[in-house]
A = this chain, B = another copy of it.
Amino acid sequence: MATERTRVDAKKLTDFATKALQKVGVPEEDAQITADMLVATDLRGVDSHGVAHLAAFYIRWIKDGLINVKPQVKIFSQTPSTATMDGDQGLGFVIGHQAMTEAIHRAEKTGAGFIAVRNSTHFGAAAGYAMMSLEHDMIGMAMTNSVPEVVAPGSTKLAVGTNPLAVAVPAGKKPPFVLDMATSVVAAGKLEMARREGASIPEGWAIDEEGKPITDPTKEGGLLPLGGTPTLGGYKGFGLGVLVDILCGVLSGSSASILWKGTLETRDSAGNHFFGALRIDSFLPVENFKKSMDEMIEAFEALPTLLGIKKIYVAGGYEAEIETDRKANGIPLRAKVIQELQELAKELDIEYDL
């Protein structure tokens, strides 16, 4: 894709996003957490979930009163390893960061920590929360439900969110294992990108009202669950999507998104989450674990490849390479994103210095 891009320094981008969020009333520490998460996502190459959404999603939702910038978060817990959190409609990044921190604290004490969160909002990419576990030598997981965009096998009506789940696992010399996947064939962001670029989408991503494949991303339709058709395991992707709905929506005391009420906008910005942490040394000495992770990753990378394939990647390996490049050379933002950030600077009366 020959889209024009401009490299922007990560630190400057973080400062800019922090200032913008503060301007719409987000307290400094919360603005910092949010900006860090957004830019960390861009650094890892996940352009669909980073600062491209700052103006169009989060700042707009805050201005529209859909996000509470001063939430009164409540934690309900009767057990040392688990808790439920009410996010009071706070910014998903802030609520998510707090909940994952809670999960890690619990895992420190008991070996395992799990937090179900209701009444939160869109939290960006799930990987960032799961990866908070890495410096604590824990396995982290994070997931969220979201407004229905995926069909159930046998139907064409939107029934589940793209309901992503992420798991992060530390390795030794190798980059950590980081799996972050929508439970649909693709995330909605991939259609958004195809629309923006006037590109078509491959058969197998989405279907129309009659169940026929869509290749024009501007057409109305529903995403297929991971696996695609029932013959190729679409019921597995659907099952995983429903599982995310259960852990995030039902277990937290909210509900599966198929039952969400409200306007399209309140539903678009909504999200319930589920976070988990497992302390590795409560199973195995951390050193042995990391050595074994490295050996496994090296064995996968040593597999013979098909013609035209340079390298076999284990989840997170490709993103780690992008991160190294972007940390050194800046984040390549598309012209459209640059333009949106410039307009945002003007609108909020802050300096545009990227």
Which residues of A come within 8 Å of B, CB atoms?
77-84, 109-114, 116, 139, 152-157, 159, 167, 169, 177, 179, 181, 185-186, 202, 204-205, 211, 226-228, 231-233, 235-240, 242-243, 245-247, 249-253, 255-256, 258-259, 278-280, 282-284, 288-289, 292-293, 295-296, 299-300, 303-306, 309, 311-315
Contacts and interface: CB of A to CB of B under 8 A. Distances in A.
Contacts of A169: 243, 246
A202 B232 contact: yes
Contact of A306 (B155, B237, B255, B309): B155
15 contacts: A80-B80, A80-B111, A84-B284, A152-B303, A156-B306, A226-B226, A226-B233, A242-B314, A245-B296, A249-B296, A250-B293, A252-B283, A255-B295, A256-B299, A258-B296
Given A79-B112, A80-B80, 5 more contacts: A154-B311, A155-B312, A177-B246, A181-B240, A226-B237
Contacts of A251: 139, 278, 280, 283-284, 289
A237 B228 CA distance: 12
B181 A282 contact: no
Contact of A282 (B79, B233, B304, B311): B79
A339 to B, nearest CB: 30
Contacts of A239: 179, 181, 314-315
A243 B284 contact: no
A313 B238 CA distance: 10
A207 to B, nearest CB: 9
B81 A312 contact: no
